[in-house]
């Protein structure tokens, strides 16, 4: 039988574990898997593009487990009361191909994206960073704010969105942390206003266009840029001149060259992959005045880690239900007899 985790199950996990703990746990699982980067079969995601958005499949596997995620990116979806990003995923045994887990990944993608952002920022942001600009206050913004508050000690969020209602939503959702004195949230009047004085700048925009959300003159020495906004060919957020004077870290260079900020750069522009930094093979931040950029487009290994985590925690907490999505045959060669109901099935003991 295959364990199934739906949206309600994920809500229960979050409720019982707590968002800060779950974000920290996910960062730990992702870190573990990046430390054994060489053990994985990896590829850039397969994408089908349309004028409205993109639909993608993201696979990754080691010698024991295989994972894939179905995910979309449709910036105009909120006009139809649909999320910009929707996702689900499967975790299966490599030895047999048997699916162990079928899970929602819409909420989980936001969680693992924030966890990966923090994982990178620990090596790239200044240790004394206390203020973060959040440019784009949509579906991912609260996850990023809470992750950076708990893991990096961020105490001020400078929030800006072209839709002021999105910023108001962010402030309302972060109200418990504001009331507890753990966080201050300032609604900025412009991108420039939000970025001025920030130690970390996180971009979370979703328009499928070659935009310049951050211009070179906004970026001060010592800043860390966490470029997380929904990425695809033809979509950018940063002035190319920022990248030229920064240390740029990516997840999987072949994919980022196609989808990330690197689209703007020449083919020989040098970057560092995150696994190299985490394994100590390359440096992260080396100087307090250095500008660092995490050009994050999301990589399948992060979803592998998230699915592995979900299966472990859901099984231990007995959350979710069992689905018979693969037939259990008494005679594996008699699929027709099983389909017609004339052949016996194996007793289900799980």
Q: How far apart are CA 275 and CA 121, in angstroms?
A: 13
Residue 29 near residue 126 (C-beta atoms within 8 A)? no
Q: How far apart are CA 112 and CA 118, in angstroms?
A: 10
CATH class of the region 2-107+301-340: alpha beta
Active-site choice (231, 239, 295, 303): 231
Which of 235, 244, 250, 319 is closest to 282 using CA atoms?
Answer: 250
Residue 344: per-residue pLDDT: 79
Residue 51: per-residue pLDDT: 87
Residue 230: per-residue pLDDT: 62
Q: How far apart are CA 91 and CA 93, in angstroms?
A: 7
Query: What's the whole-model pTM score?
Result: 0.94
Residue 72: per-residue pLDDT: 93
231 is catalytic: yes
Residue 232: per-residue pLDDT: 66
Residue 233: per-residue pLDDT: 72
Which of 146, 147, 185, 187 is closest to 163 using CA atoms?
Answer: 187
Residue 212: per-residue pLDDT: 85
Task: List the helix and strand counts (H, then E) for the chain.
Answer: 12, 18
Residue 175: per-residue pLDDT: 98
Residue 118 near residue 296 (C-beta atoms within 8 A)? no
Residue 309: per-residue pLDDT: 98
Residue 251 near residue 299 (C-beta atoms within 8 A)? yes
Residue 116: per-residue pLDDT: 98
Structure tokens at 274: 């995150």
Same fold, 2-107+301-340 and 126-298: no
In the CATH hierarchy, which fold is given to the domain comprising 126-298?
Answer: Rossmann fold (3.40.50)
- Domain residue ranges of the chain, discontinuous segments joined by +: 2-107+301-340, 126-298
The 3-state DSSP class for residue 129 equals: coil
Mean per-residue pLDDT pooled into runs of 10, the chain (350 residues): 97 96 97 98 92 93 98 91 94 98 97 98 98 96 97 97 97 97 97 97 79 92 91 80 97 92 92 98 95 96 98 98 91 91 71
Residue 304: per-residue pLDDT: 98
Angle 174-180-184 from CA coordinates, rounded to 5° = 55
Residue 201: per-residue pLDDT: 98
Residue 259: per-residue pLDDT: 87
Element containing residue 302 per DSSP (H, E): helix 300-317
Residue 208: per-residue pLDDT: 59
Residue 347: per-residue pLDDT: 62
Q: How far apart are CA 47 and CA 41, in angstroms?
A: 18
């Amino acid at each position: 039988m295959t364990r199934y985790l739906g949206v309600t199950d994920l809500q229960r996990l979050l409720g019982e574990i707590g968002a800060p703990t779950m974000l920290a746990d996910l960062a730990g699982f992702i870190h573990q898997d990046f430390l054994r980067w060489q053990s994985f079969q990896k590829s850039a995601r397969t994408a089908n593009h349309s004028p409205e958005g993109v639909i993608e499949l993201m696979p990754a596997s080691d010698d024991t487990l295989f994972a894939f995620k179905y995910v979309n990116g449709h910036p105009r979806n909120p006009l139809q009361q649909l999320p910009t990003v929707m996702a689900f995923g499967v975790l299966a045994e490599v030895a047999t191909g048997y699916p162990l887990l079928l899970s929602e990944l819409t909420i989980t993608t936001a969680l693992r994206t924030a966890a990966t952002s923090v994982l990178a920022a620990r090596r790239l942001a200044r240790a004394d960073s206390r203020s973060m600009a959040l440019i784009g206050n949509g579906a991912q913004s609260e996850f990023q704010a809470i992750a950076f508050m708990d893991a990096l000690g961020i105490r001020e969020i400078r929030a800006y969105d072209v839709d002021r209602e999105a910023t108001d939503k962010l402030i309302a959702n972060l109200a418990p942390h504001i009331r507890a004195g753990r966080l201050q949230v300032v609604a900025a009047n412009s991108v420039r206003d939000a970025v001025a004085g920030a130690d970390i700048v996180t971009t979370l925009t979703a328009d499928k266009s070659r935009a310049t959300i951050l211009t070179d003159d906004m970026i001060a020495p010592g800043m860390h840029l966490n470029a997380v906004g929904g990425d695809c060919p033809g979509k950018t957020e940063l002035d190319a001149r920022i990248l030229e004077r920064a240390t740029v870290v990516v997840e999987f260079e072949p994919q980022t060259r196609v989808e990330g900020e690197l689209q703007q750069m020449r083919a020989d522009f040098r970057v560092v992959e995150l696994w190299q930094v985490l394994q100590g093979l390359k440096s992260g931040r080396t100087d307090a005045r250095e500008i660092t950029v995490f050009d994050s487009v999301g990589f399948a290994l992060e979803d592998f880690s998230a699915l592995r985590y979900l299966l472990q925690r859901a099984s231990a907490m007995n959350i979710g239900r069992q689905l018979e999505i693969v037939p259990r045959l008494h005679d594996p060669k008699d699929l027709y007899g099983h389909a017609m109901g004339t052949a016996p099935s194996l007793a289900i003991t799980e």
